[in-house]
Structure 1
């Protein structure tokens, strides 16, 4: 289909962008990579009077280490994030989840801030944002404000962005040493949205005897409600869980099966399974062509156990 008519402004600075947005009010849309917005325009699900293009503003692009957190410019592409040594070192979960977004073509054009501002509950990155307590930097003609991830995502495809505001950057806190990370996703094809996804971060402590336990856990759920969700019940239940030893390689290079969790579900990792069984609590998954709510609840429990187990094994 052909989009409805609109005015197009390629902003030369962030100041110009917010001024145009302030004048246009709720009838304006921000364009960066366009991987989410352009399909909405073509299907006439969005009718902006003005399209403000910020995709070529260097001040909104790039990744840098700022000590306690990693600063990611809103127009930084997914591909740039995946390849960034700063992201891989400071917030590995972001790189892991971003690598699962759509396909290489989309990852080369789509932007980190665009995915967040689109706020699709089936998107991979919002769940990571709530799990890691990211902060969103919003700018308008009246100044700048910072909103936490929990407050940023307000409803289905809705955020805390006010008319006239633009997302300029995302701050990702560094969790430090002793953390393991994993993003587990179930989807029909490599390009499809997640039917359910789980972002997990686990901090592991090792005693003098070599026993490994979960000291802290963070879990974010994808597509289990109108917004990304934090599975706080899982996080609390996972604390102090005893973990199996990290698998050792045998002479032929394969893992020693004697040190792997048993297939029948018995062993030290049972506590993680019990914690994961709480993953679907306080969720409101929808029904669509791909899954029923009950199926999504089942997936949430299974994928959370996998994500926690894999995350703990990487420490």
Structure 2
């Protein structure tokens, strides 16, 4: 039987939900905008319904997919050093999920005697509540202020930092690479309010490397990433009354050497007509026509330092895993 939380424990957890009917509207807007362009595309955030999230967990277990293992290896060996350098009393995490890797940072803060509060932000309320209940059992005195929302839309709901209590704002997993360069820099600038005067940004970035290694990570032999990619069409079918046939699209993943990013696409196997009922939108796909579903930028130290500088931040340190695959970057506001 699950342990029951006492009244005292419950006072240590606050969860605010800021999601409503607008999420359906966001998908509709993205479909109307992205699928009526000359080159069709959809943003990758729509991958992650319950089935998509489960598929992504399976992707992380595939031998070809190194980012999760590499980032966790860095946190396992360097969390104490990161906490010592920042003196952080609280941790804000964008896209927190199950907080699996974050526990390593929280444990280091607990060992240092500085841990006060964890602020997870995620779109899945059940996940935020479950991880909050687990963490307050694991770490004595920890308070959790959960935000159920989209980290692109609800950053203004995050509590402001307390002067004299530095915080780490963690954006892990290489998710920053899903933003095109201009949007990436705008998003980084939006984090300034969260950092306060003495806070730090901890940013996970995948690194430029051998093309074969990169492309295999997004096209595993078991076909899990292919199923994950097609699932976005299932989401549109369910939420917007569309009639895509996901199996009639091939999964495509390749490294764009000029832009230094991975692109994932869906390629129509034959000419197709699709109706999106909720929008009364009729679409046509020629045989071989492609729909872009994700970009995932890969970084050099110079690129991430430039992006941070454009957002008013300074790169203080970069830690790379032993195989040189992935980096954690520690940054502060300039000045």
Question: Per the shorter chain, which TM-score range?
Answer: under 0.3
Which one scores higher on RCO, CA 8 angstroms, separation ≥ 6?
A: 2
Compute the TM-score of the two structures, normalised by the length of structure 2.
0.24
Q: Which has the higher helix share?
A: 2
